Structure 1
Amino acid sequence: MKVVVREKQMLDLGGSMLNEDGPTVADQVSVTAVGLFDSEERLVPLVSEYLTFAVRSANLAALSAETYGRNIGYLLEHLKDTPTFKSSSYDEILLAVTQHGIQRYFTNLREVDGLTSTTIRNRDACYMALFNDFLCVGGKHRSAVREDNPYAGGFLSPPPKKDLVYPCSMQELKALIESSSSERERCLIQTVFDAGLRRSEVGRVTLGAVNRALAFAQANFVADDAEDWVHPDYCPLYIDGSKGRGKEFKPRYSIVSRPVLERIRRYHASPLFRKHARRYETADVTPCFFNSEGRPFNPDAVSKLLERLSKRAVKSKRAERMVSPHKLRHGHAYAILTSPDFGDNYLDKLLMAQKSLGHKQTSTTETYTELPQEVFHLVCPGTGEISTKAKNMADLAAQATLKIRLGDKK
């Protein structure tokens, strides 16, 4: 099946079939719609109506609607191949499928397709939203299309297993950075790690936000046990975070090391950055990082960059595994939880990590507290002393910073 998402796309009605017998409509309209199509390009009406309504009401982002559509399509295709629904339309399947029928599908995913419990639960969440928010509830101008709700009791799949998180270590971060010949890419990778960025947040970090964080770094503070002025090792970096309601951003301040901000400042001072930054009116709309074509990074570009550098690192024996963007975010969490300067106890560090990651609940952040034994060996040097997050970032910047020349394209 295929999902087509169109958001605020202008449509010229002048070519409408309504005009065959004379001019009837000629206006341009803005269209937001989602369509799920089967293998013969036929629309699946109920699912398409649900997804369109969800996007228009901002309950789903366009990318999420595409994911939901694919997941619902997988279920419908599976049920269509069963003897029970061989001659049924897709809408008829949705109106007749039972709780047991959906659970059998999950069993097939687990035992035949080998999908993880987390992937199955994600699909389960899509189906539950379809039934709870659309099929089994009435709207302003229509009644519920289905009375019995297979999801009346909640999820139909078993709770997913919680696996230990294996973050990007400092050694892996260094291997990724050394696998790039571009200072822009090196600086970006270190920033994603040190700021705990999601891949979708990279393109929304601005020059203005970095400038304000650097201004904080220049502030003078007096420590409790010292008479001299000191500069902070960490600064708050404003981020328009993902995971907000609907399409809204969820702002937060991430804890960023001063050496990383200074490395970004050197990149911003280069002719390469200034050439692309001229197109923007203010610092608050100027992206912090540009890709090789002078545009902001999108999520796919960040993933492809990490994939390319990971392959190089593995091939050169610098690293033993591929590193995804989210493993860099995991590394940020572990860097806070293992740094001795973020509090004297577990709770202090946990709250710091929660705020920096933008988690609403500390229970989400607690996933990172179950440290595998080998992680301690990665973060602890042979002396037994644990280096601070800021010190690690300063050492890495000193070892792996490249000069940016006038003729560089990257």
Structure 2
Amino acid sequence: MEVVKVISIRGKILEFSESPTRRDNTTEVSQIHEAVKLTGAAVFDDDERLMPLISGFLSHGLRNALISEQSALTYGRNLGYTHEYLMGRREFRDCERDSAFLEIRTHVIEEYFAHLREIEEISKKTLRNRDCSLMAFFNNSLCRGVDDVPAPRTAPNPYVAGYLSPRPNKSLVVACSLHNLRELILATQSERERCLLQFIYDTGLRRSEVPRVTLKAIDDALRFQDTLFISRGISEPVNADYCPLRIDGSKGPADSFKPRDTLVSRATLLRVKKYHASPLYRMYKRQFPSAEATPAFLNAEGGQFTARSISKLLERTSKRALCLMKIDRMISPHKLRHGNAYALLRTPDIGTDYLDRLVSVQKTLGHSQLKTSETYTQIPFDLYQKLVSPGTETKTKAGEMAELSLQTRLRIDAGDMK
């Protein structure tokens, strides 16, 4: 049971105009403005007492754009779990609030991790996540002075030699195959949802990035197909099979967006455009002032999708496909992203060799390092080519998306309300 409460806000406006304290004419209260913008974090124990060391560490990180709001929540929960364990040990029961972190030694943290492994049976990956939070807390706050203020902790830093938890096992990437994508799409009777599932797979977007794709971004990408290209050995100009789509990506520093371009098949964009031409979408988009402010995908009520609602959509469609025995496991939004990476690695029309395709994966998925993209290379592409039956032609990603659109597209009639 979670007994720690973590609150994290960035630039949130607190309104005091209706506060009863403003009716008091004291000097202190008169300094309160009607609206105050706050950035910071607060962590409370099970007795609703503020933990000042943890809260100060997280607030400093938020105010100085060192961590995101989600990271502050994760750090706060992880440090709260550690504090709960420490309060259960006899030597720390007399410590006030979170002062136990000023006394804790390396062997205690190692015993905590052993407890998590053996008693709570927590995975090595989760263990390393807790370890990262503790290391940041000690290295960046407890054992480090700021300006002229000395470090709060005088005892040695337990993280001077690095991580204290065992290295987590590197798990194989589980991706959504094209077959599974088709079955997922067929498990819903809404063209709006079918269109969205194909779009997420073809673009490789994270679930948090989908709500930020706008009608204007789709229109701008489609304008690229008006450009005619002349290839070597071909006399007739042709349209490109892929269009660049500008994405306000996630994982930027401190909740900022990290813009990038991804490649999306022309067939997928045309399917999205047909959805935009439907009476249903045109009716709902009137509530937005411009194409730049209009989401590319709207839910059944005409509102904006959220990361959570996208996960719910995948959960719902996966269960339907499982009940029909069309797929053998649940498929999350990130598995669609993994599927996009493998589709890029196997398509023969992007790049001239394996390294070209790997760099394409890095750029389109928004990986800051090529090493992250190499996660998808347990089976090298040249070995994959040898596994393809002789005489068969590997389909392109663009061709697969065009075929998928033809096989699964539903018409949206004027009377449809979903």
Tell me if TM exceeds 0.5.
yes
User: What range is the shorter-chain TM-score in?
Assistant: over 0.9
Unaligned runs of 5+ in 1: none
Structure 2 partner of 1:217: 225
Contact kept in structure 2, 1:164 and 1:371, CA below 8 Å: no
How far the C-alpha of 1:192 sits from its partner, in A, is 0.6
Instruction: Measure the CA separation in 2 of the matches of 1:273 and 1:163.
Output: 41
Structure 2 partner of 1:62: 69
Is 1:369 equivalent to 2:377 in the alignment?
yes
Instruction: Measure the CA separation in 2 of the matches of 1:150 and 1:18.
Output: 48
How far the C-alpha of 1:12 sits from its partner, in A, is 1.7
- % of aligned pairs identical? 46
How far the C-alpha of 1:9 sits from its partner, in A, is 3.0
Contact kept in structure 2, 1:259 and 1:397, CA below 8 Å: yes
Name the CA shift for 1:295/1:14 in 2 (closer, same or farther; >3 Å).
closer
Structure 1 partner of 2:173: 165
Name the CA shift for 1:382/1:313 in 2 (closer, same or farther; >3 Å).
farther
Match of 1:37 among 41, 44, 58: 44
Name the CA shift for 1:39/1:315 in 2 (closer, same or farther; >3 Å).
same
Contact kept in structure 2, 1:16 and 1:25, CA below 8 Å: no
Match of 1:130 among 134, 137, 144: 137
How far the C-alpha of 1:303 sits from its partner, in A, is 0.9
Match of 2:108 among 101, 105, 110: 101
Q: Report the RMSD for the aligned CA atoms in angstroms.
A: 2.4
Is 1:9 equivalent to 2:16 in the alignment?
no
Contact kept in structure 2, 1:380 and 1:387, CA below 8 Å: no
Match of 1:81 among 77, 83, 88: 88
Cα-to-partner distance string for 1:118-150 (whole Å, 9 max, x where unaligned):
221122111111111112222246321113221
- Counting matched residue pairs gives 408
| Partner SS for 1:189 | helix
Name the CA shift for 1:333/1:106 in 2 (closer, same or farther; >3 Å).
same
Structure 2 partner of 1:144: 151
Unaligned runs of 5+ in 2: none
Paired residue type of 2:7: V
Instruction: Measure the CA separation in 2 of the matches of 1:206 and 1:72.
Output: 38
Q: Could you tell me the TM-score, scaled by structure 1's length?
A: 0.93
How far the C-alpha of 1:296 sits from its partner, in A, is 1.8
Structure 1 partner of 2:29: 25
Instruction: Measure the CA separation in 2 of the matches of 1:360 and 1:274.
Output: 37
Paired residue type of 2:29: V
| Partner SS for 2:248 | strand
Contact kept in structure 2, 1:59 and 1:245, CA below 8 Å: yes
How far the C-alpha of 1:108 sits from its partner, in A, is 2.0
How far the C-alpha of 1:14 sits from its partner, in A, is 7.1
Contact kept in structure 2, 1:13 and 1:25, CA below 8 Å: no
Instruction: Measure the CA separation in 1 of the matches of 2:301 and 2:51.
Output: 39
How far the C-alpha of 1:30 sits from its partner, in A, is 2.2
